[in-house]
Amino acid sequence: MEKIVALCKRRGFIFQSSEIYGGINGFWDYGPLGAELKKNIRDYWWNEMVRGRDDVVGIETSIIMHPKVWEASGHVGGFTDPMVDCKSSKQRFRADEIYFSPVIVDGKIVGYVSMLESERTTEDLQEKAEAFKRKKAIQGKLEPVQPRDFTQATPEEIPLVPSPATGEPGSLTPARNFNMMFETYVGALREESEKTYLRPETAQGMFADFKAVLDTGRVKIPFGIAQIGKSFRNEITPRNFTFRSREFEQMEMEFFISDEDDWAKWHRYWIDWCRNWLLSVGLPASHITEYNHAKEKLAFYSKGTTDLMFQYPFGVQELWGIAARGCYDLSQHAKFSGQSLEYFDEEKKRKYVPHVIEPAVGVDRIALAILCTAYQEETTTDEKGQTETRVVMRFAPRIAPVKVAVFPLLRNKPPLVERARQVFKLLQPHFTTEWDDRGNIGKRYRYQDEQGTPWCATIDFDTLGEKGPELADTVTLRDRDSMKQDRVKIADLVPLISQKLRG
Ligand code: GAP
């Protein structure tokens, strides 16, 4: 992960926001390559989800909405995370991320151990319990730890659980609920009546505009409304690079179905759709798993939620949630707005409130999964038999920030540079194209490999016809992954690269 973060900064994928002022926790900027990467993700999703389908329409709603939207959606009352403070270190934690256990020797509790949740919570707590027993020189048989998260600590246990910051008990406060919505005020007066929120999800825009979209007459159930946009959550502990940020981008789609339709069939359909989409942007099937939320942990209105989980370097984490939400959201907005949000089925002459299946994903989480998957180090041997490490970002070509780089073999030979400029201008309207004439060709390849450019075109003396007419007006096209170089006619470059991108 450290290597990926360093490469992201060095090559201009992702920077800390406001870095010259020391940064601001949970906010990130995308540099020139990162902005292209994200745009490719968004565009590809929009093409597949909206433009490529005749049953989904796209919208773009405002970030700040009427405050009643968030009352109706339940966010004002319940969009909270349990928060704990460490009074000694002044650090703040999410209570459900602190795990603790009593240390039990010969059936008696002799102390407590704690840690922040990890891939090996139980094993690490067990090791801590053994170390605790050793340090205190306690004799007897140590029992296996019984990990619980801090929300489950009893009032008697709270002062006994060590802070993960200091390792000492007595400084953790009881968990209290913290609403994650960012508040703001609309208009000149900072009064409660003017208070509203930065949206914590894009989904409510689709519910609030359901009637407006229906009234355009373009849609008939089953149909979906999709949008891409920024969301904001005042996360207690932003972490794992961009994985959990305070400002992030979502791609969500609300798929409305009849109340009589088989919701489980549609739920399955959208889980499979999302999984296939992830495969088509180059994520390996071996890293994607499904996690079904336990029935008893679901909200009362929810019929089922499945998360597509991704194996990031820091653990298996949620990437894409696909929720079957019944008719809860539309019913709530109908209740709070006083407007009917029913659908009239012309054929059956019947009115009902549609049910919804919601695939919701974060662009930043996809970008991070793609960056982590693409990063590879390889040992290569050059013509002189010297080995070196090649860092290569193996992006799926359709997602790669730069599709093709154009090099004149030598920068001080005007005929080469002029011909290379012509090739560059030929490609530029079709693909994200980069010009590079620095250093030698080997260095330029390494540079392009590190930013994941799938193809490099070099204009050399053969291109100018110096070795005979058969090679005139051809370039070498070098493939990032195989490192093979083919001689390609300049006139064939655009159709050839276009075809490779579709493939
Ligand atoms: N409308 C449903 C909804 O927003 P969610 O599971 O809270 O559901 C959907 O969010 C997706 O948005 C997540 O699966 C994740 O990809 C992304 N996401 C949520 N919180 C995020 C955060 N703090 N930083 C980055 N991405 C986040």
Q: Which numbered atom of ligand 1 lies nearest the CA of 245?
A: 24
Cα–Cα–Cα angle for 285, 287, 289, rounded to 5 degrees:
85
Our mutation pick for probing the ligand 1 site, out of 318, 332, 356, counting the most ligand atoms within 8 A of Cβ, is: 318
pLDDT of residue 193: 82
Nearest CA owner, ligand 1 atom 25: 244
Rounded distance, CA 262 to CA 265, Å? 6
Residue 361 CA to ligand 1 center (angstroms) comes to: 6
Give CA separation, 360 vs 227, 250, 498, in Å.
Answer: 10, 7, 30
3-state secondary structure of 381: strand
Give CA separation, 417 vs 178, 306, 445, in Å.
Answer: 60, 55, 18
Nearest CA owner, ligand 1 atom 11: 361
Residue 142 has pLDDT above 90, yes or no: yes
Q: List pocket residues of ligand 1, CB cut-off 6 Å.
A: 201, 203, 233, 235, 244-245, 248, 250, 252, 318-321, 358, 360-362, 364-365
Our mutation pick for probing the ligand 1 site, out of 365, 370, 371, counting the most ligand atoms within 8 A of Cβ, is: 365
Taking only the tens place, the pLDDT of each residue in 196-221 is 999 999 999 999 999 999 999 889 99
Our mutation pick for probing the ligand 1 site, out of 73, 75, 94, 201, counting the most ligand atoms within 8 A of Cβ, is: 201
Handedness of CA 241, 243, 247, 250 (dihedral sign): positive
Mean pLDDT to the nearest integer, 319-331: 97
Residue 22 CA to ligand 1 center (angstroms) comes to: 26
Q: Are strands 80-85 and 176-179 parallel, antiparallel or unpaired?
A: antiparallel
Residue 392 — very low, low, confident or very high, per pLDDT cuts 50/70/90? very high
Bridge partners for 350 per DSSP: 345
| Closest C-alpha among 267, 265, 268, 318 to residue 289 | 318
pLDDT of residue 385: 85
Residues 6+ apart with CB under 8 A from 359: 252, 253, 255, 270, 273, 274, 320, 321, 322
Rounded distance, CA 178 to CA 446, Å? 48
**Number of neighbouring beta carbons within 10 Å of residue 119:** 9
pLDDT of residue 230: 98
- Where is 333: in which H helix or E strand? helix 328-337
Mean pLDDT to the nearest integer, 96-105: 96
Residue 383 has pLDDT above 80, yes or no: no
Mean pLDDT to the nearest integer, 122-133: 96
Nearest CA owner, ligand 1 atom 26: 362
**Number of neighbouring beta carbons within 10 Å of residue 190:** 9
Average pLDDT, the chain: 95
Residues 6+ apart with CB under 8 A from 405: 433, 434, 435, 436, 444, 448, 453, 455, 456, 457
98-105 β-sheet, strand order: 108-116, 98-105, 148-149
Q: Which numbered atom of ligand 1 lies nearest the CA of 250?
A: 12
Residue 85 — very low, low, confident or very high, per pLDDT cuts 50/70/90? very high
Q: Are strands 404-408 and 433-435 parallel, antiparallel or unpaired?
A: parallel
Residue 362 CA to ligand 1 center (angstroms) comes to: 6
**Number of neighbouring beta carbons within 10 Å of residue 359:** 24
Mean pLDDT to the nearest integer, 12-20: 96
Taking only the tens place, the pLDDT of each residue in 249-282 is 999 999 999 999 999 999 999 999 999 999 999 9
Rounded distance, CA 328 to CA 338, Å? 15
Tokens 């490192």 sit on residue: 483
Residue 65 CA to ligand 1 center (angstroms) comes to: 19
Tokens standing for 160? 């006994």
Name the percent of the chain lying above pLDDT 90.
90
Residue 34 CA to ligand 1 center (angstroms) comes to: 20
Residue 365 CA to ligand 1 center (angstroms) comes to: 9
Q: Hey, what long-range contacts does 167-170 have (CB within 8 A, 24 or more apart)?
A: 168/88, 169/112
Residue 447 has pLDDT above 90, yes or no: yes
Give CA separation, 197 vs 179, 183, 233, 458, in Å.
Answer: 11, 4, 10, 53
pLDDT of residue 224: 98
Taking only the tens place, the pLDDT of each residue in 449-470 is 999 999 999 999 999 988 888 8
| Closest C-alpha among 357, 360, 339, 359 to residue 256 | 357
Taking only the tens place, the pLDDT of each residue in 28-81 is 999 999 999 999 999 999 999 999 999 999 999 999 999 999 999 999 999 999
Tokens standing for 392? 């290569």
Residue 373 has pLDDT above 90, yes or no: yes
Name the percent of the chain lying above pLDDT 70.
100
Rounded distance, CA 441 to CA 438, Å? 8
pLDDT of residue 71: 96
